[in-house]
Structure 1
Amino acid sequence: MTISLILDMATSAHGERGAFTVDGTTVTFDELGHLVAAVGSELQDSGAKHVVFLGHSGLELPVLLFASAQAGLPFTPVNYRLGDRQLSDLINRVDGAVVVVDPDVTASFTDVSAPILSAHVLLKAARTRTDLLPSVDIDPDAPAVILFTSGTTSAPKGVVLRHSHLLSYVMGTVDFGSAESTDAALISVPPYHVAGMGTILTNLYAGRRMVYLPHFDAGEWLALARDEKATSAMVVPTMLERIVQSLQGAPAEIPSLRSLSYGGARMPRPTLEAALVAFDDVGFVNAYGLTETSSTIALLGPEDHREALSSDDPAVRMRLGSIGRPVPGVEAVIRTADGDPAPLGEQGELWVRGPQVSGEYMGLGSVLDPDGWFPTRDLAYQDADGFLFVVGRNDDTIIRGGENIAPAEIEDVLVHHPSVQSVAVVGIPDDHWGQAIVAAVVLEVGADPDPEELRQYVRASLRGSRTPDRVIYVSELPSTATGKILRKEIVANLVASAQS
């Protein structure tokens, strides 16, 4: 079986039901199936070995995903926001690629030898094609999707997701045909993120119409959710923060909305608490996953969110910062530096395994251990009830005076100060301590606290060694499209500033 099966099943069961809505136009499952068959035929005729896509989240994305599968070609959506040189370097790493470009994407490919096609021209030609070719018979263990990691700490690596990985994820987390005919999912995540692939596959398998908002804007998101009667939505933390800010304390008032999922980066507690109040009758889901795991591997469900929000027990309230428990079919273990399972409550590295876990990189091979375990490089701990808590990345750890300090524990305190809108804590080289702790803070509009006030605010909650040595104010924190803070960029700017 390949991911083509998902579209085949959805088309057979829900042919006349709407599958995708973009800019007010809806395409049915039957129409999507015909477009996929026609574009797949065009791709087979092209002689390409691989399909690279540069574009936004629109109809072209699901069509090319399934058309590539029909043609037996791996599909790679690439971050169109990268610079021309970075784009060229990534494309040139893909063997035998044809590059399909959304005309709205402005980029120069002077150093790319691969043929470049317009997505609009390709779809236009496909709509009139009648000599459709049969699907290529391919191995379920063949690569289906290759996604380049964000490269926040190193050069991007191409993660290989095989058909079997993606099918295991979809069929292990979603019931086929479980959506009602009136259900609609509002999608705003980038196409080059694993969530962009996962939302297509899971919603199609459920039979749910997807509504794309290619360019996120909080006001437009709220209006589109109301106009299209969205029943579910997926956002990243920075999007939810802007939605909450735009509401200015008022209720969201989207009667149709039943489920709101978030993921891609750590969610600030104040943002989540404000969102739970604004969307008071909506079920929230924290979906934790990685590119290497074919998307979600752990969930904090709606009841967990509401129970934590209303609880007076600090341990239960803390679960608002949890990633929840592993999804069916996924095992998780937290290991100490020695490789042994960590006791409950003790931090270690989170390792996972299961049929949806890839752990494979293009040109580099697999990083799974002999027993199939994948090292997430996330520092985490587990409480007595099985809830997992991610406290940061291994390489984000600050070592000050020989003591390991997770930036997240300081950030979780500072972000609750009324003058702080967002914060990132990093370590910079220091001759005395090895590393000094610096808090880069974005202030709320109109706020101007003394930096020493924020230092003492941390000291009141954490022991002295966790108090930032410096607090600096910045206009914004550099981040990826999914809200992951680019800590290396913050450190580089601080070091450069000190040397100038």
Structure 2
Amino acid sequence: MDAAFIASTMARRGLLTPGRPGRVVRQFAALGRWGFGLAGELRQAAARSPERIAVVDDERRLTYAQLLGRAERLAGALPAGPGDRVGLLCRNSVRMVESLIGTTIRGADPVLINTGLSAHQLAEVTKNQGLRVLIHDDEFTDQVALLTGVERLNERRIADMIAETSPEGALSPPARPGRTVVLTSGTTGVPKGARRPTPGGFRPLCSVIDRIPLRAGDTVMISAPLFHTWGFAGLQIALALRATIVLQRRFDAAAAQATMAGRSVDALIGVPVMLQQLMDLPASAKRPSLRVAAVSGSALPGGLAGRFMDRFGDVLYNLYGSTEASWVSIATPADLRAAPNTAGRPPYGTRVAVLGDDGRPVPDGTVGRLFVVNEMLFEGYTDDADTRMCEGMLGTGDLGHRDADGRVFVDGREDDMIVSGGENVHPGEVADLLAGLPQVRDVAVIGVPDDEFGQRLAAYLVLRDGETLDHEAVRAHVRRHRARFCVPRDVVFLDELPRNATGKVLARELPRNG
């Protein structure tokens, strides 16, 4: 069954098209020798399509052959060895890609660091992850200046190391392949390191592109940060597809829209807040050639899916996953048209269960804890912290349910649910309701302490330009559609919600009343 699924998916996505025999042989030999990690995927792409543009950013463009050559020279000069950990504090750029792949070629473990970390968090990550080397963009020079016990390499130093290192000829795979470490979001403290597994074959790739129709040779704009699980996965997929990768250091909706039109971008890989920012722009007279807009990292705000597809076409795909689980489910445009707040269905090779407190499956429509198993579950935290498992399945930490058609819905985080006056309340349910108000551009709902009821809901709203809404109208809307204990007692209007680089709301930075 696996072989038939893999062959069919690869054929549909253009991965089995005929090529020059010598190149095809070298392509599969590279995968056989180097595996399906970043180093192997780059080598197979360079063997098959050496002249194709591999990556483009605001300053440079490199072919696959050039990217491989630069990554290999950096690997030869890197002051780290197999098993050492190398931190990367970089925005999306060619330099980030060549540094990341050069680290894996060397056999060192790249640690992908969120560019939004505070100085304290960065110092803790450096210590906790045992970094030997830190590669960083120049803009972070002051932030890293006080770090101790780690060798710091800025943009100029990386460029010099590549320029000054002679190619060593054919390199051999390291005895111990580098293992990528992705940090959790760190929205509530110091982020933990999660060890990402290396794919063992074609099935993980096919599981995703079976649902999200990315094709070999596409032009793919990766706007999700490369340090984030979804941005990193986008890079893995794009290399496997021998795609042309378009990067911008910072996401700017107007610049992204212009780039998509100017470069005939086939696919956008981003996070939901980026779609919202694109929708805030005036609609262009000509619809972009976009065939796929694939997002992950946070929930789609209510109504956004339909509005986006009405403007850009039925091209939206929403992947629900996490740093630990990789993916759980994928919603296609048809899913999102039928149920705009769905997280979709599990892809091939993935099993999802909705379990009650007793560990048994609950009926369709009943909210329970979401558990998942697939071949790309993370290998554990670098500090060996415990993970929640049930009969071999990983707990996502989310509450959710499944409908009669098998679609998965996420109802909120387990630790976000509050008890107000003895009633269980899910803030995400109220946030989705308020997001449907035509005046509302963005919304967050959280639980806050309450002397009388234990906890209460607080709603934070960002209105669209020129719109007005008062506190009581917000409460009345919730009162009409939900139980009385779901009505937020605090309603706060803000110019913007505080979000991290992947679009998650930073609850600790929301103002508190009382």
TM more than 0.5: yes
Does the 8 A contact of 2:79 with 2:133 survive in 1?
A: no
Residue 431 to residue 272, structure 1, CA distance change in 2 (3 Å): same
Residues 64 and 135 of structure 1: CA distance in aligned 2, closer, same or farther (over 3 Å) = farther
* 1:91-490 → structure 2 map (5 Å cutoff): 91-106=126-141, 107-132=143-168, 134-139=171-176, 144-164=179-199, 169-170=204-205, 172-174=207-209, 179-181=215-217, 183-247=218-282, 250-251=283-284, 253-280=286-313, 282-294=314-326, 296-305=327-336, 308=337, 316=338, 319-358=339-378, 360-365=380-385, 367=387, 369=389, 371-490=391-510
SS of 1:395 mapped into structure 2: coil
Q: Contact 2:356/2:362 (CA < 8 Å) preserved in 1?
A: yes
Residue 14 of structure 1: aligned partner: 49
Q: 1:108 to 1:125 in 2, by over 3 A?
A: closer
Secondary structure at the aligned position of 1:342 is classed as coil
2:82, 2:106 within 8 Å by CA — same for their partners in 1?
no
Instruction: Name the SS for the 1:20 alignment partner.
Output: strand
Shift of 1:426: 1.6
1:61 & 1:119 partners in 2: Cα distance? 10
Deviation at 1:240, TM superposition (A): 0.9
Give the match's secondary structure for 1:127. helix
Question: CA contact under 8 A between 1:48 and 1:98: conserved in structure 2?
Answer: no
Q: 1:166 to 1:24 in 2, by over 3 A?
A: farther
Letter in 1 for 2:477: Y
Structure 2 CA distance, aligned partners of 1:104 and 1:143?
Answer: 27
Which residue is 2:86 aligned to? 51
For residue 367 of structure 1, give the secondary structure of its aligned residue in structure 2.
coil
Tell me, in whole angstroms, the C-alpha distance in 2 between the residues paired with 1:243 and 1:36.
34
Query: In 1, Cα distance between the equivalents of 2:319 and 2:130?
Result: 33
Letter in 1 for 2:111: T
Question: How has the CA–CA distance of structure 1 residues 476 and 45 changed in structure 2, closer, same or farther, with 3 Å as cutoff?
Answer: closer
Distance 1:180 1:292, change over 3 A: closer
Is the counterpart of residue 88 in structure 1 residue 91 in structure 2? no
Residue 215 of structure 2 contacts residue 241 of structure 2 at CA under 8 Å; is this kept in 1? Answer: yes
Q: Distance in 2 between matches of 1:324 and 1:23?
A: 35
Equivalent-residue separation in structure 1 for 2:333 and 2:133 (angstroms):
42
| 1:346 shift after superposition | 0.5
> 1:48–1:97: 8 Å Cα contact kept in structure 2?
no
Query: Does the 8 A contact of 2:459 with 2:492 survive in 1?
Result: yes
Secondary structure class of the residue paired with 1:257: coil
Letter in 2 for 1:51: V
Q: For residue 337 of structure 1, report the CA deviation from its aligned partner.
A: 1.5
**For the residues of structure 2 that align with 1:143 and 1:297, how far apart are their CA atoms?**
25
Task: Assess, with a 3 A threshold, how the Cα gap between structure 1 residues 461 and 166 changes in structure 2: closer, same or farther.
Answer: farther
Q: CA deviation at 1:64?
A: 1.9
Q: Distance in 2 between matches of 1:480 and 1:92?
A: 22
In the superposition, the TM-score normalised over structure 1's length comes to: 0.89
Q: Using the alignment, how far apart are the partners of 2:390 and 2:328 within structure 1?
A: 20
- 2:44 and 2:209 map into 1 onto residues whose CA distance is 14
Report the Cα offset of residue 407 of structure 1: 0.9
Structure 2: runs of 5+ lacking an equivalent: 1-34
Query: Match of 2:280, SS?
Result: helix
Alignment length (residue pairs): 475
Instruction: State the match for 1:311 in structure 2.
Output: none
For structure 1, list consecutive stretches of 5 or more residues without a partner in the other structure: 309-315
Deviates more, 1:285-294 or 1:442-451: 442-451
Please tell me whether the aligned partners of residues 379 and 392 of structure 1 are also in contact (alpha carbons under 8 angstroms).
Answer: yes
Q: Provide the C-alpha distance between the structure 1 equivalents of 2:413 and 2:200, rounded to a whole number of angstroms.
A: 24
SS in structure 1 of the partner of residue 481 of structure 2: coil
Residue 291 (structure 1) shift: 0.8
Letter in 2 for 1:395: D
Give a deviation string over 1:203-262, Cα, whole Å, max 9, x none: 110111001021111110100111111011012121111110112xx3573442111111
Is the 2:182–2:323 Cα contact (8 Å) retained in structure 1? yes
Q: Distance in 2 between matches of 1:123 and 1:48?
A: 24
Q: Percent identical across equivalent pairs?
A: 28
**Deviation by residue 1:152-199 (Cα, 9 ceiling, x = unmatched):** 234311111132479763354348x97354x21111111221112111
